Structure 1
């Protein structure tokens, strides 16, 4: 007996319409509800890479655009110029400091020292009436010692002044002579100091008479001298003021020269770097 073949029924998928099958293959499982709306008819969308976009300002703002575009370039140029100027100034300062240091190490400059050897006082009579004014004249012998400098000379300029006072009371003033003092040299010179309208109180006259009787009259000799240090024949410094204050004691106030006892001199001078 032959086997009987029963026909199979078609599967449900095979019975679906063709359009429904195509829609199922292309439609996503989770459709998006934020789709970009389609462009209106007659328009085109052209996509260009960002690095190829060339922006051209409108004609009415082209001049302002050029100014704004050139501003960073100007700032860079100004910064470079300022940096170059600052570097040049610092280089010059370093070179000047190095030069001064070399000169100092080679010549070893020192300030000169001064002392008063004698004073000749006239016109200072303590026995005169207190109502009368005095006009003293003092001849001062001064010793300038440049022995501390072995390679540097001292050039004393015009305009130096020497004054003598008694407990702050100005007695006389004169000029410091201008001359050149060679290295390792001692120079003696004299200068004339004059005063006018000098007056003492009764207490000052009594004290001055007592000190003269004891042979110890204290006086203060001050000098302000513009000098320049000379290194060799060519190199010189700027002119600076050297101030000296000497405490001197004389044994008498007479027409003859009185022996002066120096109680110490103080020299005040600016540091070496100020001289350049």
Structure 2
């Protein structure tokens, strides 16, 4: 073997520093071909570097508390109102006034030249206040009317007055009216007159104010209907009322 073909051992420097770690971390991503130019550094664990997320305010708890407080106040208010109403009922013992039609008189029932029917009725009504501690103010704006079936014959109003405790008041009310279908209406009533039973309705709508002791409350309305059966429609004479049924209610 010639000198230039001999293998000469390489001297190893035992004091040489250990190989340094590669500058690129081991978490490298490489392409399928292993091209280092396409390598990318890993993003690493970014969660540790981010600040802790702020918790949203607990609005739902506030809404629940507000709703509970509102419901509680409403229930308390209802209890208070109920207690006051119960005390008023026990102290004053309120009762609805009663009304009755004593008699009915037809002053005029005339068929005009234009075939309209003019009617004038006089009604006597008894108003009874049965309450021991409640007075009634009859206010302006009352409305009374007499009807034959579904046709209004005449109308009028009650006077303004105050009715005291356990008082009975007799009212004479004049009602007047004119209907354009006079001929047809008069024929129908005369036909009913032959049977001796003519149906008439007295409708009442009266605004009143209630007085509890010295306290005057807001206006309410007394609504009612008296169904009458009379025997005749003769003018200028008292008419016999064969049947009378009245029903009344209070509208707040």
RMSD: 3.0
Task: Select which of 133, 137, 140 maps to 1:158.
Answer: 140
Provide the aligned length of Structure 1 versus Structure 2: 205
C-alpha change, 1:130 and 1:87, in structure 2 (3 Å) is same
C-alpha change, 1:260 and 1:185, in structure 2 (3 Å) is farther
Structure 2 CA distance, aligned partners of 1:264 and 1:99? 35
| Counterparts of residues 70-109 of structure 1 (less than 5 Å) | 71-72=57-58, 74-109=59-94
Q: CA deviation at 1:216?
A: 4.6
| Counterparts of residues 1-276 of structure 1 (less than 5 Å) | 58=51, 65=54, 68-69=55-56, 71-72=57-58, 74-125=59-110, 128=111, 132-147=115-130, 149-200=131-182, 202=184, 205-212=186-193, 216-234=197-215, 236=217, 238-261=218-241, 262-270=243-251
User: Gaps spanning 5+ residues in structure 2: where?
Assistant: 1-20, 22-47
Structure 1 CA distance, aligned partners of 2:226 and 2:49? 84
Q: CA deviation at 1:85?
A: 2.2
Q: CA deviation at 1:166?
A: 1.2
Q: CA deviation at 1:214?
A: 6.5
Task: Write 1 or 2 for the structure with the bigger share of helix.
Answer: 1
Q: Which moved more, 1:193-202 or 1:170-179?
A: 193-202
Question: What SS class does the counterpart of residue 157 from structure 2 fall into?
Answer: strand
Structure 2 CA distance, aligned partners of 1:75 and 1:251? 74
Task: State the TM-score, normalized to the length of structure 1.
Answer: 0.63
Task: Write 1 or 2 for the structure with the bigger share of strand.
Answer: 2
Is this contact kept in 1: 2:198–2:231, CA < 8 A?
Answer: yes
Is this contact kept in 1: 2:116–2:183, CA < 8 A?
Answer: no
